[in-house]
Structure 1
Amino acid sequence: MTILVIGSVNADLTVQAARIPAPGETVLGGDAHVSPGGKGANQAVAAALAGAQVKLCGAVGAVPDPFRLPALSGLTRAGVDLSPLHTLDAPTGLALITVAAGGENAITVASGANARFGPEHLPTEWTGLTHLLLQQELTPTVTREAAHRAHAAGLTVILNAAPARTADPELLAHTHHLIVNEHELAALVEQNVDPDELESAARSLLGLGPAAVTVTLGAQGSLTVTADAMYSLAAHPVHVVDTTGAGDTFCGVLAARLGGGDALPTALHWAGVAAGLACTRPGAQDSMPAWAEVLEAESSALNSSSTV
């Protein structure tokens, strides 16, 4: 089982502050911290930490780009295969992240090499791959073409439709499992979605191609619908420090566990536990738990419930 992730690779420049600045406002924060990020790289790391064999296809800038090595450091530590990675004549992507005291974040992305990644950079050989994990930080043309090629090659295509965009019928037609948060769901159905409308809104997307739609709900857990089932899972209880990377952790772990043969409800459970743990530490890849930590957290939760 090998998962291919096609997506963005960034360095994250993070500052802790009392609150997210309002338009036109300057807020003094703490020291800046540079760490690896990008939704593609984040999800590749999360999947690898969850036990999957992972390859990453993306793009970074050439040395002496100061952000190239920081952007790749987490992938290297996690053992992600970078043989499909491209070096382009553009700066490595950079995300500017402000994290508020309560854990909320605001992110601005300078795409750099990610924006120069074109269909010509996609793999031409899909042998030995079982799953493709996609996001929407590369161009729509690239994401659409990647899903089309992978679907035709017999891979299971998992799409995290983030950042939010309106629905692309051709992309969704080649998607097996769609993962969105509430804002991304609203963008896809092109209307505000009240909490009691989440299931019906998610089900409306099943007819466009996906066999499963998962809506991540932060502290409320996740909701997943298929043609004949619905799974509502509570969030793993944690003390939130920083939510950056939690969604990417969920996506990467879900892909890894599905690729490893877990049933959908089981894979969703493990993804939720790992995402919760990612909220207990600052950063994106730096916050992602090793699989042993996920198992330990599950064991601790079971022991606590058995003593109540």
Structure 2
Amino acid sequence: MAAAAAVLGLGHVVVDHVVWLPAYPTVDSKNNILRSRIQVGGPVPTALVLLARWGLPARFLGVIGDDPDGLRILADLQREGVDPSLVVRRRGLQTGFAHVWVEQGTGRRTVASYRPDRPVQPEELPKTLWDDTRLLHLDGWPGETAVHAAASARAQGIPVSLDAGSVRPDMDRLLPLVDVLTAPERFARDFCRTADVPAAARALLAIGPQTVYLTRDAAGARAWTRAVPPSTEPGTWTQPALDIAPVDTNGAGDTFAGAVLYGTLSGWPVPKTLQAACVAAGLKCTRPGNRDALPALSDVLARLG
């Protein structure tokens, strides 16, 4: 696809220290690690890597330090074909990292993440940011910069997507600027302060997004959209998850969001995009790791109905 179809991603990037444990540990206990790995993660860069592997040019904008983890991230982006030319590298800054505990047998994970204290500021966004950009993808961090970038993209007629893993500062200012929202159901419940997920989804649509995709862990995902005329009610679809034995669920939501972006940019209808995202996330969970576990586009397409 031509360079004009590039996806620009702004967000948090980390080096993950992942360990697999027999079971989730109790407080003050000592536990044997079954295996471990170090990998590059973060919602936005993982989604961009998926897009790059699936044939869509992608660029990443985020902050790293001048430490070995920063070099690891740059090397990963370059190796995966994601343009790192916009990455801000700060002298003396500790690059973001995360400790990830994965439970053997269930694939469930717990994450503790460090975000650098000097993130990208709005005034650091280059004036050429929107050259050859077709879509802006965000994770909501840093909040002020994400809002600024989304407003600027909207002014250029560029759609905005948000992978909202949790409620963050400035989210109430960011959501009105978003066209496509992906998030877990707990985000919808927490942000809208209701246990009624369909009501929360409709409330989110009323705030700004045209389409909302909400993941449901092992139950799959649901989608709502206002982009289905002439009905006055939003279109609604439910997609079950793949029937798999999960090995590692870390990065499943990032993979889901990346597949949603691919379907959106490919002009797929919402039901097909939803199914592809569930398939992609499910296939990712069948293998350990992050980049190593991302599914090929051909494998996802082969499972679509």
TM-score for the superposition, normalised by structure 1: 0.88
Cα shift at 1:92: 1.5
Aligned in 2, Cα 1:72/1:244: closer, same or farther, shift over 3 Å? farther
Q: Percent identity?
A: 31
Cα shift at 1:285: 2.4
* 2-structure distance, mates of 1:54, 1:205: 27
Q: Give unpaired runs (5+ residues) of structure 1.
A: 303-308
Which of 6, 11, 36 is the matching residue for 2:10? 6
CA contact (8 A) 2:222 2:274 kept: no
Pairing of 1:9-24 with structure 2 (within 5 A): 9-24=13-28
Pairing of 1:147-296 with structure 2 (within 5 A): 147-165=150-168, 168-191=171-194, 193=195, 197-227=196-226, 228-296=234-302
Tell which deviates more after alignment, 79-88 or 260-269: 260-269
Q: What is residue 103 of structure 2 aligned with on the other side?
A: 100
User: RMSD across aligned C-alpha pairs, in angstroms?
Assistant: 2.0
Letter in 2 for 1:153: Q
Cα shift at 1:24: 4.6
What secondary structure is seen at the aligned counterpart in 2 of 1:12? strand
* 1-structure distance, mates of 2:149, 2:27: 37
Cα shift at 1:166: 6.8
Tell which deviates more after alignment, 272-281 or 49-58: 49-58
Letter in 2 for 1:222: A
Letter in 2 for 1:48: A
Letter in 2 for 1:278: K
Aligned pairs, number: 291
Aligned in 2, Cα 1:219/1:167: closer, same or farther, shift over 3 Å? farther
Cα shift at 1:133: 0.8
Aligned in 2, Cα 1:167/1:204: closer, same or farther, shift over 3 Å? farther
Which of 5, 28, 36 is the matching residue for 2:32? 28
What secondary structure is seen at the aligned counterpart in 2 of 1:84? coil
Is 1:87 matched with 2:89? yes
What secondary structure is seen at the aligned counterpart in 1 of 2:207? coil
Q: What is residue 39 of structure 1 aligned with on the other side?
A: 43
Alpha-carbon displacement from aligned partner over 1:130-156 (angstroms, at most 9, x marks no partner): 1111103x2211121121111111111
* 1-structure distance, mates of 2:236, 2:75: 38
CA contact (8 A) 1:240 1:279 kept: yes
Which of 69, 72, 91 is the matching residue for 1:70? 72
Aligned in 2, Cα 1:26/1:147: closer, same or farther, shift over 3 Å? farther
CA contact (8 A) 2:224 2:237 kept: yes
* 2-structure distance, mates of 1:85, 1:61: 10
Q: Give unpaired runs (5+ residues) of structure 2.
A: 227-233
Tell which deviates more after alignment, 205-214 or 115-124: 115-124
Aligned in 2, Cα 1:291/1:285: closer, same or farther, shift over 3 Å? same
Alpha-carbon displacement from aligned partner over 1:9-68 (angstroms, at most 9, x marks no partner): 211100101223345544332343111112221111122223211111112112xx1212
Tell which deviates more after alignment, 22-31 or 96-105: 22-31
Q: What is residue 148 of structure 2 aligned with on the other side?
A: 145
What secondary structure is seen at the aligned counterpart in 2 of 1:207? helix
What secondary structure is seen at the aligned counterpart in 2 of 1:67? helix
Which of 124, 127, 147 is the matching residue for 2:127? 124
